[in-house]
């Protein structure tokens, strides 16, 4: 569901703005001055919508349109080809997305989870801590989109009346105002170059951000190193990783049990592997299995079954003891599983991991063979040693996904103490948002749908290709209308079902 506080803030803010605007326009004292102030600054207000328009960037657009005309001709022709291909590709993508959404609505299969698009709602499935990334990346993508339209229009001798920025509810965007008379008298091919320029520039921005994301380790190499572990940048307060012997910002995690961690990807894969494999055991000296520990530190406690069928043997509710199971060494033919409640940190710190007693081979010259003891935990619960030198192991007991969500990590380790831990994280996260949002704008605006670039792209394409086949202009417009109707229905179905999937679940 949509968070009530967010809804109250958004609705209250817009109601206050619209109420103030209405009162000033109704005031006989302030109306003329207020309307003049709005007009002089290019501002327009309406319910849940505010926009600002200016001509200050017209000279910049004209300058860009004069740079290397031949290269720009090839550039915008490439955009024309991309726009036509993207229009077809967007329909295919939305059709497949709709099929996946319908499949997810009718089944709980994990295979169809996490494959939805058009479902980004601030405060719902977008963390509030990343709202700044989202809105800045969305605004940048919109500005680059409109820059493409403006430069392409000036190249085709179409006047640009102005450039502007708007906010609709909470979503920012940009627009250019083109002189429609000039636009209507140029050829369909010229129109297509203008209409395709927006999605083309979004695609180029997406590729550029993706390239920067992959080359970021190279660019930051003089200041940050990678491959030496996963650097902790944030620990959720009160989580399993918090505390005096937990993780802290600046710690470098180099291993989870016997799984080496060289970066964030290794951290995720190690946790996934540990959650899907049986609990790791630890080699301890057989002499350490003292009778007092085997009986609850001197108490007459015995192993008992939990509700899920697993065994427990610690009845003192200690935060430092844990129940371990091991095979009784008395008689190979009568070997049975026994349980011991032991001080966990003392027993497993610095010990070798094992799966059976055979892994605990005696080390020369005088070491005795060890016993493989395994934490006896509830189903899906794991005991994990987190290596983060020079500190002692952090010991974690719980579901591995909880550990993954408890800390934020990065691959980039500062070479100098004065460097900020969050700089690479900021650049990496921002590039990811630009890739996602700019790519999404390219896809959505390519859809042959009313009020989107796809409408004008489709109309210009039909005029450029069907003139000799369908000579009647009204028939061409009728074909375009039905294609736009189908595209609009497809996009509306994706958005409606996507929003339902997010808010209902």
pLDDT in tens, 466-503: 988 998 999 999 999 999 999 999 999 998 888 887 76
**Contact assessment for residue 322 and residue 397, using Cβ atoms and an 8 Å cutoff:** yes
Mean pLDDT, rounded, for 110-124:
52
Please name the residues in contact with 427: beta carbons below 8 A apart, sequence gap of 6 or more: 212, 216, 220
Q: What angle do CA 118, 123, 126 make, to 5 degrees?
A: 50
Do 283 and 360 meet the contact criterion of CB atoms below 8 Å apart? yes
Element containing residue 454 per DSSP (H, E): helix 453-465
Closest CA to 396 of 409, 404, 385: 385
Contacts of 424 (CB under 8 A, 6+ apart): 216, 220, 224, 410, 411, 412
Active-site hit among 35, 146, 265, 378: 146
Mean pLDDT is lowest, of 24-28, 52-56, 277-281, 311-315, for 311-315
Query: Which one has a higher pLDDT value, 157 or 306?
Result: 157
For the residues 314-329, what does the mean pLDDT come to? 79
Residue 377 has pLDDT above 50, yes or no: yes
Provide the pairing of β-strand 281-285 with 252-253. unpaired
Residue whose entry in the numeric block shows the structure tokens 């089944």: 107
Write the CA distances from 203 to 7, 212, 443, 448, integer angstroms: 33, 14, 9, 17
Percent residues over pLDDT 90 in the chain: 64
Task: Give the model's confidence band at 332: pLDDT under 50 very low, under 70 low, under 90 confident, else very high.
Answer: very low
**What is the pLDDT confidence band of residue 330, given thresholds at 50, 70 and 90?**
low
Give 428-454 pLDDT, tens digit per residue. 999 999 999 999 999 999 999 999 999
At 122, is the pLDDT very low, low, confident or very high (cuts 50, 70, 90)?
low
Average pLDDT, the chain: 88
Residues 129-156, mean pLDDT to the nearest whole number: 95
Q: How many Å apart are CA 263 and CA 279, to the nearest integer?
A: 23
Q: What is the pLDDT of residue 369?
A: 67
CB neighbours (10 Å) of residue 309? Answer: 8
User: What is residue 272's predicted lDDT score, i.e. its pLDDT?
Assistant: 93
Q: What is the pLDDT of residue 252?
A: 96
Taking only the tens place, the pLDDT of each residue in 255-266 is: 999 899 999 999
Question: Which tens digits make up the pLDDT trace of 378-409?
Answer: 888 999 999 999 999 999 999 999 999 999 99
Tell me how many helices (H) and strands (E) the chain has: 14, 20
Q: Respond yes or no: is residue 146 known to be catalytic.
A: yes
The four Cα atoms 125, 131, 137, 140 give a dihedral, to 10 degrees, of 130
Question: Which single residue is written with the structure tokens 């939805």?
Answer: 116
- What gap in Å lies between CA 362 and CA 131, rounded to an integer? 56
Close Cβ partners of 258 (under 8 Å, ≥ 6 residues apart): 280, 353
pLDDT in tens, 265-296: 999 999 999 999 999 899 888 777 754 454 44
Q: Report whether pLDDT(63) > 80.
A: yes
């Amino acid at each position: 569901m949509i968070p009530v506080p967010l809804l109250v803030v958004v609705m209250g803010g817009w109601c206050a703005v619209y109420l103030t605007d209405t009162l000033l326009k109704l005031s006989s004292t302030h109306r003329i001055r207020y309307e003049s102030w709005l007009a002089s600054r290019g501002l327009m207000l309406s319910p849940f919508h505010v926009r600002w328009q200016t001509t200050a960037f017209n000279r910049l657009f004209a300058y860009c349109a004069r740079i290397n005309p031949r290269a720009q001709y090839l550039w915008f022709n490439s955009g024309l080809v991309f726009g036509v291909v993207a229009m077809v590709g967007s329909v295919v993508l939305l059709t497949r997305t709709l099929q996946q959404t319908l499949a997810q609505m009718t089944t709980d299969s994990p295979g169809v989870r996490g494959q939805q698009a058009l479902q980004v709602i601030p405060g719902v499935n977008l963390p509030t801590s990343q709202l700044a990334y989202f809105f800045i990346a969305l605004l940048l993508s919109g500005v680059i989109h409109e820059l493409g339209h403006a430069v392409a229009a000036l190249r085709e001798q179409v006047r640009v009346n102005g450039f502007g920025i708007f906010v609709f509810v909470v979503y920012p965007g940009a627009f250019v105002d083109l002189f429609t008379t000039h636009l209507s008298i140029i050829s369909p091919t010229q129109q297509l170059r203008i209409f395709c320029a927006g999605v083309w520039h979004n695609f180029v921005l997406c590729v550029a951000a993706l390239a920067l994301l992959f080359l970021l380790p190279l660019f930051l190499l003089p200041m940050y190193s990678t491959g030496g572990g996963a650097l902790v940048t944030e620990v959720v307060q009160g989580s399993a990783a918090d505390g005096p012997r937990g993780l802290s910002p600046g710690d470098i995690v180099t291993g989870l049990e016997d799984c080496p961690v060289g970066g964030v990807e290794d951290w995720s894969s190690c946790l996934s592997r540990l959650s899907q494999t049986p609990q790791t055991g630890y080699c301890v000296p057989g002499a350490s299995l003292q009778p007092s520990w085997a009986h609850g530190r001197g108490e007459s406690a015995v192993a008992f079954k939990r509700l899920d069928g697993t065994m427990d043997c610690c009845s003192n509710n200690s935060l430092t003891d844990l129940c371990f199971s091991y095979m009784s060494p008395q008689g190979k033919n009568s070997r049975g599983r026994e349980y011991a409640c032991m001080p966990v940190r003392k027993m497993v710190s610095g010990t070798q991991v094992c799966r059976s007693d055979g892994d605990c081979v005696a080390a020369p010259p005088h070491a005795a063979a060890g016993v493989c003891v395994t934490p006896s935990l509830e189903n899906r619960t794991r005991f994990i040693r987190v290596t983060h030198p020079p500190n002692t192991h952090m010991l974690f007991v719980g579901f591995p996904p909880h550990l993954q969500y408890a800390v934020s990590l990065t691959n980039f380790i500062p070479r100098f103490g004065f460097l900020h831990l969050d700089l690479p994280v900021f650049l990496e996260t921002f590039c990811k948002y630009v890739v996602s949002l700019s790519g999404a704008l390219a896809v959505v605006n390519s859809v042959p749908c009313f009020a989107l670039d796809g409408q004008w792209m489709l109309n210009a394409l039909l005029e450029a290709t069907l003139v000799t086949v369908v000579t009647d202009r009204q028939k061409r417009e009728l074909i375009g209308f039905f294609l736009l109707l189908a595209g609009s229905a497809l996009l509306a179905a994706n958005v409606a079902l996507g929003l339902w999937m997010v808010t209902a679940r």
